[in-house]
Every structure is written in structure tokens, then in C-alpha cells.
Amino acid sequence: MRADQSEEFGIFLAHDELREAQGEMIVDGIAALGAGGFLLASAPTGIGKTAAALAAALDASRKSPESKVVMFLTGRQSQHRIVVDTVRRINRNLDSEDAKVRLVDLIGQQGMCINEIRREHRALFSRLCADKRGSRTCKPWLADSELIRPRILQDPLHVDELVSICQGGADELPHGICPWKAARESAPFADIVVCDYNHVFVEAVRDSSLSAMGLDLEDMILVVDEAHNLPDRIRRGFERTITMKVIRDAITEIEEHKETKEEEGGALDGEESDANDSELDRLRRTEAAMRRLMRGIPQWFAEIEGGLAGSVGEDQRVSMTDFIQRVSDILSEDVEKAVEPDALVRILQTIRVEIDHADEEIEEETACMRLAILLQTCMQNHDSPAFALVHDKIAGEEHRLTTHLLDPGVVSGSLLDRCSGAIMMSGTLSPPKMYGDLLKIPLDRVSIIKEYNSHFLSERRPVLIAKDVTSRYQDRGEENTARLREHIHSVLKQTPGHVAVFAPSYALLEQILLEDEDWIVQSRRMLQERPGDSKEKMDRMVDDLHRLRREETPAILAGVLGGKLAEGVDYPGNILDAVICIGLPLPPPSSRQDALRSYYEERYGKQTAWRYAGSQPAINRLLQAMGRPIRKAADRALVVLLEKRLLQRGYKFCLPEGLHMVESVDSDRTERHAERFFRNNPDPAKHIE
């Protein structure tokens, strides 16, 4: 449809021609945001959802009687560039009398840093940056951001362009200016701020970031990209783990901090000396209290360890109330040196230690801070069913406690209620109603909850489901493994280019792909994801795929469902010809999973709880992996799902309605489908990247 056919699309359009679903999404977004409400959009790749969301959000922002800032929240840096390029197109299409859209692109401090510390380990950088800003020894940080603000707002800049401009050398900026500071201080004057979810949905980041930007939630329209990730991102913000090693390390940090204060005390007098003496007394009491914890907590572990024996997942849920009570009892054993748990938390949060530049395993949080956050989480939420404390043992030996947030809605619900409206979108926001429930979209405001169709997917991305294989544990064995390999081999034989293979676990991936490599086509290169691989390594693998295509050498890209290769990486240029997903990535049995299912049963009922806690997240991980090869409407790829359970009603119900699926009874049928697809679609899409 033509973009100028109706005023209902607004003026902030990046394209002269709109796809049908894209036009629908713009109209729905304008309707929802215009009423101060919410659009939850399950919008597949290729319909132009970024441009649609921006068109609707900018329309609502400009029409609002009070100034509104569009916060475009995304967890992927590649999406930042897409947003900036889209806004540039919007500006080119605006009439001369319409004000151009001003945009600020913001990523993490280290990614924008021009100081020499930017090359340090991430955790080390965070502490060094804070120290340099606090001591006012970072010259780029001290420079006046107003000198660069007009350029930032004149025309949308990618982060790397802003960093380049801020490098310095000119007379007015001999040492440069901190790009991160310049971006944050320009944000109040922008129409759009592109940043990470954390700036809104993580309390510590939100409190510091929004105040530094001069922004309030009430003045924001949120656009949440890849919104299917948001519940887990919120949950991870409350997940903290401690072991006895953390307590030991915390004692060492307190000792170091105390020694520093003792050295400083020798140069003080008067009131400053008295204040230092008082702090030293508190530190000595805290150290003594921590040593009591070192003796007392292992006794509590011994008392509760029996519960692990009958646990299905080799862990157990323990009472936060009981844990805090035991901590309180231990801290008060010495009446004269008793310390209340809340006082202990406050002191632990003040502990500062020197940074060891040679330590390659430096943590982003000190042991004191990690312990403080876990204790504070338990004290504040011990009577809330939305939180769980889980006890297990590492490698069967060292005891471990972990806090879990079961319900992300306890965080997001109040935040969404404060904002001026939101668009929450993803290709796998399926079903969107589930995410509305999980995130507690305010029920007293307008909500449009919709799944949009992309007609090209059925032709350009057919989905083949094998009926004779599974990853179900009870059905595994040599025959099932042999059939899985036969299906994979049949796809490899007929696919001219690169094939991605994703499994539910590294162990299953190794078993099927690597234990017997003779069956794999020998001319293919193997690019394999391993536990702990960095995002940088993943990006290099994508570069390798493009190089191998130029060399006409097909490759197998091997990873896990839910891993970086299956969810966190873009594959531009239609570089993947096929994707094979082995099995279902259902969560393994655990006390945390039991707690989650029980919580959902209480809120939604048994049938919905089973879907929300297990089957739908597993299906959505599959959908994420399936969507990796398709970035644009012209892309083509064959998708093969090696899991017969997907044809069962309980799982099939979780798949999107518009998914075009073909059943395959065996590997011969799979090979014929693959041969026909690539005969009809022999070449990848042509792209200008």
C-alpha cells in the first residue's frame, strides 16, 4: 500500500510503500499510544516493525500536549544502527516545514569510552571509570558537553560516529569529551533515545541514568524491541549467588578497607579523626560479625542438606524467612558486638577495595556488594511468593544460595503504569497475551494485543517437522540418534551453502554432531559455539561465514537453542541457507522451575501455568533460532525441526497460527523437500548491506 493513501499513518514514515502488516501495526500503534495505552505486537521479521513502531511513537509524541521522549529499548547493538538509519530516512521524507527528529544513541560506558582504560577487562573498567570520575582525573569527563550537543541533535549519529567526533584534538576540546556523558546530557533535548532495557527496568541503573538524563518515566513513550527477552532480563537483575567463598572474600575486603582507614586516620585530627574512629569501630564490629557467619552458616547448611537427597533437580527451595532469621541469630550471638542484618547490609555497601590490575578473573561486583544485595533481596521479599531462594551444591561439594525472581511483573507492572504508553514487539512475542500477563500490562488502560502475518514467510521460509525423531530423554538411544543424523545429512546433501544446527544442550550437540564425524559431509567446515564464548567470538564466526561463502566453502554452524548463536547474533546477507533445530529446549527439573510453575498455577491455573513456565518458553527459543536466517523479505532459508512432539496438540498450540509447516515421515522425505526448495530457490537474496 502507498504510504500517502491515508493520514492514519502519520507523517513519520521511512518508506514510500508500506507492507500490509506494517501499515496495520502503525495504525494500531497510533491508536494505542494516542489513548496512553499499549501495543503488544508479535511481528515477524521482514514486515518493517522498527519503522512501524517509530512512526507510531513519534506521532503520539508530537501530538501529545506535553513533551514526550521516545525511549527505544533494545538489548542488541546491531538494532541501534537500524534505528538510526530508519530515523535518517524518516527525516529525509519529512516536509521542509516539519521539525526533524532528534536522536541520541547510547550504549554502555566502556563501549563509548575514549580514555585509555577502555581496553581493560569489563569489571575492571567499571571500577576504574568510577574512580576517575570521582577523583576528577578523567579529562574527557570534565569537558563541557554543551560544546558537542548541537552536533548530536543536528542529525542522528551512530554511536561510533559520536565517539569519533568526541575523540578531540581541536582547540576547544584538546583532550576530547566523554561521548557517554555528552549523549546522556543531550538526551533531554532529543525526540528519541536509543538505549538498553536496563535504563528503565533495572532499579540501580534507572535511578542513576534517568536522573542524569533529566528524564522521568511519566514523560516517556517506551518502544521495547525483542520484548520476549524482557521478562528474563528483569529476572536476572534480581539473581544473586553466594557461597562460603563469597563470605571469605568479603571478610578479606573488609580487612583491606579497614587497613586503608587506619592509615588515613594518622593524618586526621579533630572531628575528622573522630568520624574515622567511629567508622573503624563499625568495621571491626562488622568483621567480627562476618567471622561469626563464617562459623554459623555451614552449620545451617548441614541442617538443611538432607533436603537435597529427595530433590529431583539436585537443589531445594529454602525459606528466605528462615535464612534471614538464622543470619540474624548468628549476628546477635555476641551481645556486646551484635549487628542487625540491615546494618550489616549498609556497611557492606560502603566497602571499597583496591583494584588488582593483574587479576584476570575480577568480578563486576565485590564480594561485599554481592552478599549485601542477596541479604537485602531476602529481607525485603521474604514474605513474597514472587521470590525464591534455592540451595544447591557446586560440583557436589560447595554449598550455594541463589535468589530468583519468579514474577517479572512485580517490577515491570508499576513502571509501565507510570510511563505514557508503550509498544512491545518481537518476532517471537508469542502469544502476546502471555507477555501482557507476565509483565502486568495495566488493565485499566487501552491495550491492543495482536499477531501480525507475513505472507512471504510460507514461501521463503518453509518449516519441515520430522515425525520420527525426538530429544525426549526417555526416547533417546542409538536408533533415535542415527535417525537424527540421517535427517541432518539429508539437508546437508541438498543445501548449497551454510547450515546452522542448534540443539537443546552442548552435550546433545556433541553427541550428535561430533562423536562420530565420519557421517558429516567432509567438505564442510565446522564452526562451533562453546560454553562461555564471548559475543566477539560469535561476531567473528559470522565474518567467517561470509569469508567461506566467498571461497565457496560451505560450513556447519553449531550452537545451542537459547545460546548466543541461536538468539543473540544477526546473520546479514542471507548468509544461512538452512537452519536445523534438534529437539525441544524444555527447562530441566529444578526447585526453581517447580517454584515458578507453582506460582503460575496460583495466578493462572494449572493448564496455563504449564504453558507459561515450560512449553511456550521452549517453543519461543525454537522460534528465535528459526528466525536467524531471515532478516528481510527477500531472504530465503529452509527450516527443519527434528522433534515429533511439535505435532502434539499441547506443543502445536504454542506455535504461531500463520506458521507454514510440512510433515516429514523420514530422512528420505526430508531430502526430497530440501532438494525441491533449493531447486526453486537456488540463490541467496542479494543485499546491499
Q: Please state the φ and ψ torsions of residue 151, each to the nearest 5 degrees.
A: -70, -35
Please give the Cα distance from 145 to 40 (Å, whole number): 37
Residues 317 and 423 in one domain: no
**Residues 361 and 218 placed together within one structural domain of the fold:** no
CA-based max dimension of the chain = 88
Record the cell numbers describing residue 437, joined without a space. Answer: 500477563
Point out the domain boundary residue: 418, 451, 484: 451
Within-domain flag for 687: no
Q: With contact defined as beta carbons under 8 Å apart, do 393 and 401 qualify? A: no
Cis ω on the peptide bond leading into residue 531 (within 30° of 0)?
no
Whether the CB-CB separation of 593 and 613 falls below 8 Å is answered with yes
Per-residue confidence at 262, pLDDT binned at 50, 70, 90?
confident
- Quick one: what percent of the chain has pLDDT higher than 90? 67
**Residue 292's CATH number:** 1.10.275
The pLDDT, as a whole number, for residue 172 is 64
Confidence of residue 292 (pLDDT cuts 50, 70, 90): very high
Which of 61, 71, 67 minimizes the C-alpha distance to 187? Answer: 71
Q: Which three cell numbers stand for residue 66?
A: 506535553
- Tell me the backbone φ, ψ of residue 578, rounded to 5 degrees: -150, 155
Same domain, 581 and 631: yes
Query: Closest Cα to residue 563, out of 597, 604, 528, 608?
Result: 528
Q: What is the pLDDT of residue 688?
A: 47
| pLDDT, averaged across the chain | 90
Same structural domain, 432 and 354? no
Which residue has better confidence, 442 or 132?
442
Work out the average pLDDT over 460-471: 93
The answer as to whether 493 is a domain residue is yes
CATH number reported for the structural domain that contains residue 658 in this entry = 3.40.50.300
Number of domains in the chain: 3
The pLDDT assigned to 689 comes to: 42
What separation, in Å, do the N-terminal and C-terminal C-alpha atoms of the chain show? 25
Shared-domain flag, residues 461 and 386: no
- Residue 652, domain extent: 457-680
Cell 541469630 found at = 329
Residues 553 and 601 in one domain: yes
In-domain check, residue 506: yes
CA angle 200/202/208 to nearest 5° reads 75
Mean pLDDT (whole number) for 84-108: 94
Query: Would residue 275 count as lying in a domain?
Result: yes
Q: Residue 1: pLDDT above 60?
A: no
Residues 318 and 429 in one domain: no
Which pLDDT band, with edges at 50, 70 and 90, does 562 fall under? very high
Q: Enumerate the H helices of 464-522 as residue ranges.
A: 478-494, 506-509
Mean pLDDT to the nearest integer, 48-53: 94
pTM: 0.89
The answer as to whether 689 is a domain residue is: no
Tens digit of pLDDT for each residue in 423-447? 999 988 989 999 999 999 999 999 9
Cell of 57: 511513537
Residue 686 inside a domain? The answer is no
- Cell triple for residue 121? 577487562
- For residues 214 and 247, membership in a common domain is answered with no
Let me know whether 444 and 346 are in one domain.
no
If you search the block for the grid coordinates 535504563, which residue do you land on?
199
Cα 360 to Cα 124, 363, 491: the distances in Å are 9, 9, 43
For 191-269, where are the alpha helices, taking DSSP H only?
198-201, 203-213, 230-236, 244-265
Note whether 354 and 493 are same-domain residues.
no
The conformational region for residue 30 under phi > 0 = left, psi -120 to 50 = alpha, else beta, is alpha
Please give the distance of CA 227 from its chain centroid, rounded to a whole number: 9
Concatenated DSSP letters of 156-191: ---HHHHHHHHT--BTTBTT---HHHHHHHHGGG-S
List Cα–Cα distances, 657 to 430, 637, 665, in angstroms: 10, 20, 22
Average pLDDT of span 258-281: 79
Pairwise CA distance, residues 213 & 367, whole Å: 30
pLDDT at 5 over 60: no
Q: pLDDT tens for residues 190-211? A: 999 999 999 999 888 898 899 9
Mean pLDDT confidence for 136-161: 91
- Domain assignment present for 688: no
Give kind and range of the element (H or E) at residue 279. helix 270-304
Q: Final residue of a domain: which of 338, 372, 405?
A: 405
Residue 585 pLDDT > 90: yes
- pLDDT score at 362: 56
Residue 474 has a pLDDT of: 93
C-alpha triplet 55, 60, 63: angle, nearest 5° = 120
Q: Which residues contact 645 (CB under 8 A, 6 or more apart)?
A: 470, 472, 584, 651
Question: Which of 370, 405, 440 is the last residue in one of the domains?
Answer: 405
Considering the domain architecture, whether residues 616 and 527 belong to the same structural domain is answered as yes
Residue 143 falls within a domain, yes or no? Answer: yes
Q: What is the dihedral of CA 539, 541, 546, 551, to 10 degrees?
A: 150
Is residue 644 within 8 Å of 445, Cβ to Cβ? no
For residues 290 and 183, membership in a common domain is answered with: no
Per-residue pLDDT of 9-25, as tens digits, reads: 889 999 888 888 999 99
CA 579 – CA 636 distance, rounded (Å): 11
